[in-house]
Amino acid sequence: MSNQIPVHNVTPPAYTEGDSVDLYASRQKIYTRAFTGVFRNVRLIGGIVLFLLYFGTVWLDWGGHQAVWWNLPERKFYIFGATFWPQDFILLSGILIVSAFGLFFITVFAGRVWCGYTCPQSVWTWIFMWCEKVTEGDRNQRIKLDHAPMSVGKFARKFTKHGLWLLIGLTTGLTFVGYFSPIRDLTVEFFTGQADGWSYFWIGFFTLATYGNAGWLREQVCIHMCPYARFQSVMFDKDTLIVSYDPRRGETRGPRRKDTDYTAQGLGDCIDCTLCVQVCPTGIDIRDGLQIECIGCAACIDACDTVMDKMSYPRGLISYTTEHNLSGQTTHKLRPRLIAYAAVLLVMIGVLTTAFWTRSLIGLDVSKDRMLYRENAEGRIENVYSLKVMNKDQVDHTYVLEATGLPDLKLQGRREIKVPAGEIFTLPVELSVAPERMPSSSNEISFLLRDAENSSTQVQAKSRFIGPHVRSE
């Protein structure tokens, strides 16, 4: 590998007592150049799909309410036809675990494709860079504009760019908060000044976070703030797809005229045009080898392929390849680590799907009244309970209630309960037993709640029936 990643001597000049050594390197602003190509088109299509999903889903309705709605005050989470309750949070943990293993699998197989194509930080940054190009021009025009003194024209361009950035940030923030507070009402209230303070705070927060991250911080987020960037490099193996320059083909780099016999001059295919550096959103030179800053976006591949086409050289001087390929060895597509991640991923998806389809759509919570027991007019021992019946479905249901566990156990009051879709119904219940039929002073009993129309949908909750001390004969 030493022939692929050149090592530069960065030892600081000799240090003498009393000298101060400045280890801080200020950020160099990156001016990316516009480009076209296959991978740019893939990213564009992927970005449009993700944008439509993010900005569009929030406006869809399902079953009389917003299709995807995290209703925090009522602790109900709607995802199209399914309603999730806090008790279902184990499923959310399952989704996070499946997503993590999906990411591990993709990373081992295809490197940083998540970062380059689908990470919101990248997608929004590409959109912001497009706004920059529309308002301030391409790379060279922007460099010139930044070095020019302030003028009406410069101010107008900068003003329009920041206005567009803020507008996208505001739309992003409003949409995000709209997943927690119905978007139609929120939008009207926001623009008429009637939204509550927290809505303004969170929309403002996400507007500024989007504006700051995609407009100003950009590659700094990927290089210094993203934890995934830190640990994914340990997941790479020599068969992981990486974006790489082929030094065996490219070196010795240097300018030349088209259609000259450059091999006779001792040159390789790289014409040293630096286009691959100019399009890189993290500002690195991929010809220096694999670097932690590389987000695998393939912009340099597109740029270099364009150059290769112009020079009538074969494409692929920079390409998606593997370390094994680069060193002339065979790439192993199926390997133990990849198979292990795929197996765990499939098992987790299976478990999650089963848990989702078999989750109960009825919930029953029982709490016993503080009063231990009382004796009624007929001389029977009575216990009082408070039942919370949850209809987790999106349609109304009628349930039938039974109590079991003691001979002669009588349930007084309502046995049939109609609960509207997604509602919780609180029901006081009294149970009574003749004192001579109680085997002990504390007995386990069960409440059984079943759907009146579908007896296979039922739930059971245990409690205790308390009575006076029972004398043994």
Is 286 or 406 the residue whose CB approaches ligand SF4 more closely? 286
Is 287 or 392 the residue whose CB approaches ligand SF4 more closely? 287
Instruction: Report in angstroms how near the CB of residue 233 gets to ligand SF4 at its nearest.
Output: 13
Instruction: Report in angstroms how near the CB of residue 112 gets to ligand SF4 at its nearest.
Output: 8
Six token digits for residue 115: 């970062």
Instruction: Report in angstroms how near the CB of residue 145 gets to ligand SF4 at its nearest.
Output: 23
Is 284 or 431 the residue whose CB approaches ligand SF4 more closely? 284
Q: Please check whether residue 116 is in contact with residue 295, taking contact to mean a CB–CB distance below 8 angstroms.
A: yes
Residue ranges that bind ligand SF4, judged by CB under 6 A = 243, 245, 250, 253, 270-276, 279-282, 284, 286-287, 294-300, 303-304, 307, 317-318
Instruction: Report in angstroms how near the CB of residue 1 gets to ligand SF4 at its nearest.
Output: 18
Q: Which residues contact 336 (CB under 8 A, 6 or more apart)?
A: none
Is 287 or 397 the residue whose CB approaches ligand SF4 more closely? 287
Q: Please check whether residue 118 is in contact with residue 46, taking contact to mean a CB–CB distance below 8 angstroms.
A: yes
Is 199 or 232 the residue whose CB approaches ligand SF4 more closely? 232
Instruction: Report in angstroms how near the CB of residue 228 gets to ligand SF4 at its nearest.
Output: 15
Q: Which residues contact 62 (CB under 8 A, 6 or more apart)?
A: 78, 80, 81
Phi, psi for residue 435 in degrees, rounded to 5:
-60, -35
Q: Report DSSP letters for 262-275, one per residue.
A: TTTTT--S-----H
Distance CA 83, CA 76 (A): 7
Distance CA 370, CA 375 (A): 15
Instruction: Report in angstroms how near the CB of residue 243 gets to ligand SF4 at its nearest.
Output: 4
Q: Please check whether residue 224 is in contact with residue 27, taking contact to mean a CB–CB distance below 8 angstroms.
A: no
Q: Please check whether residue 380 is in contact with residue 396, taking contact to mean a CB–CB distance below 8 angstroms.
A: no
Q: Please check whether residue 218 is in contact with residue 281, taking contact to mean a CB–CB distance below 8 angstroms.
A: yes
Is 157 or 287 the residue whose CB approaches ligand SF4 more closely? 287
Instruction: Report in angstroms how near the CB of residue 319 gets to ligand SF4 at its nearest.
Output: 11
Nearest to 214 by CA among 123, 142, 153: 123
| Dihedral in degrees, nearest 10, Cα atoms 191, 195, 201, 205 | -40
Is 187 or 274 the residue whose CB approaches ligand SF4 more closely? 274
Instruction: Report in angstroms how near the CB of residue 231 gets to ligand SF4 at its nearest.
Output: 18
Element (H, E) at 412: strand 410-412
Q: Please check whether residue 292 is in contact with residue 229, taking contact to mean a CB–CB distance below 8 angstroms.
A: yes
Residue type for position 254: G
Instruction: Report in angstroms how near the CB of residue 110 gets to ligand SF4 at its nearest.
Output: 12
Is 117 or 465 the residue whose CB approaches ligand SF4 more closely? 117
Instruction: Report in angstroms how near the CB of residue 32 gets to ligand SF4 at its nearest.
Output: 9
Element (H, E) at 356: helix 336-358
Is 112 or 142 the residue whose CB approaches ligand SF4 more closely? 112
Is 203 or 317 the residue whose CB approaches ligand SF4 more closely? 317
Distance CA 206, CA 178 (A): 12
Distance CA 171, CA 173 (A): 6
Give me the count of residues in the chain: 473
